[in-house]
Amino acid sequence: MGKRLVVLASGAGSNAQALLDRRDLGGDVVAVVTDVAGAGVIDRARAADVEAVCVDRGDFEDRTGWEAALTESVAARDPDLVVLAGFMRILSDAFVRRWPILNVHPSLLPAFPGAHAVRDALAHGVKVTGVTVHFVVEEVDAGPIVAQVALGIEADDTPETLHERLKTIEHRLLPESVALFCADRLRVEGRSVRILP
Ligand code: GRF
C-alpha cells in the first residue's frame, strides 16, 4: 500500500507542488499543512484536490500551544512520512521523534545551516553550493543526509538568481528522495543513509 505523506510548508510551495505533480512517488500527499495564513501553498494543494490545513502561528499565544495544535493536525492524518518543503519553523524534539521527517535545504550541509543558507553561501564567497535532502533530527539541519547535488556559483549570481537555480534542483531531489522512502529503500545507519537496491 502507498505511504501516507503529510507536507509542511510555509511559503510559495514550489517544492510541495513538485511532490503533488509527481505521479510515481509510491505514496499520496494526504494533506498540506502550513503555519502561515494565506501561504501560496494552500492554493496549490486545493488545485491538486489535496486537503490544506492552516495552523497559523499568529492564532496562538505561545509556541507550545501552536505546536500542540500542529501535532494534532498532523497526527489526525496518520502519516508514514512528514515532508518539510520550505517549512520555516523549528519543531520540538517530541515532534521530531514522532514521525520520520525529510527536509530539503538549499546548501550542501553541514555548510550553511539555518534560514539564510543561500545568502550565507554567497556572503562567504564559496564557489560551489547545492541542495541537501536529509532526515530531520533534534538539531536543526543536522540529520542523516539522503541526497546532495552540487551547483557552481556564477560571478554575477544574486541571492535570487542562485536560489532560483537551487530550487530547480530541489524540485527533482526532494521527490526522488521521498520516492526512495516510499519504496522502503532508505536505511539510516548512524549518521549515514544507505540507499538499498
Ligand atoms: C526552498 O528553497 C527550501 O529549500 C527552503 O525554502 C524554500 C521554499 O520554497 N527551506 P518553496 O516554498 O517550496 O517554493
Report phi then psi at 101, rounded to 5: -135, 130
Residues of the chain with pLDDT > 70: what percent? Answer: 100
Given a cut of 90, whether residue 190 has pLDDT beyond it is yes
**Residue 62 burial (C-beta neighbours within 10 Å; 0-12, 13-18, 19+):** exposed
pLDDT at 123: 98
Per-residue pLDDT band for 56 (boundaries 50, 70, 90) equals very high
CA of 18 to the centre of ligand 1 (A): 11
Looking at ligand 1, which residue's alpha carbon is closest to its atom 8? Answer: 86
Q: Do the beta carbons of residue 9 and residue 18 sit within 8 Å?
A: no
Q: Is 12 touching ligand 1 by the criterion CB < 6 Å?
A: yes
Give the residue whose CA is nearest to atom 10 of ligand 1.
Answer: 86
Q: Give which of 82, 127, 129, 86 is closest to 105, Cα–Cα.
A: 86
Residue 124 is among the residues annotated as catalytic for this protein: no
The one-letter amino acid at 108: L
1 pLDDT more than 90: no
Give the three-state DSSP class for 66.
helix
Give residue 164 CA to ligand 1 midpoint distance, Å: 10
Residue 109: name the closest of 79, 126, 84, 129 by CA.
Answer: 129
Residues contacting 196, CB < 8 A, separation 6+: 184, 185, 186, 187
SS3 call for 54:
strand
Record the cell numbers describing residue 88, joined without a space. 520555516
Reported as a single tens digit per residue, the pLDDT across 112-167 is: 999 999 999 999 999 999 999 999 999 999 999 999 999 999 999 999 999 999 99
Q: Which residues contact 135 (CB under 8 A, 6 or more apart)?
A: 100, 101, 102, 103, 143, 144, 146, 188, 193
pLDDT of residue 51: 98
74-124 tens-digit pLDDT: 999 999 999 999 999 999 999 999 999 999 999 999 999 999 999 999 999
Query: Does 102 sit in the ligand 1 pocket, CB within 6 Å?
Result: no
pLDDT at 168 over 80: yes
Asked whether residue 49 carries a pLDDT value surpassing 80, the answer given is yes
Instruction: Tell me the per-residue pLDDT of 7-46, one tens digit each, with 9 for 90 and over.
Output: 999 999 999 999 999 989 999 999 999 999 999 999 999 9
pTM (global) more than 0.85:
yes
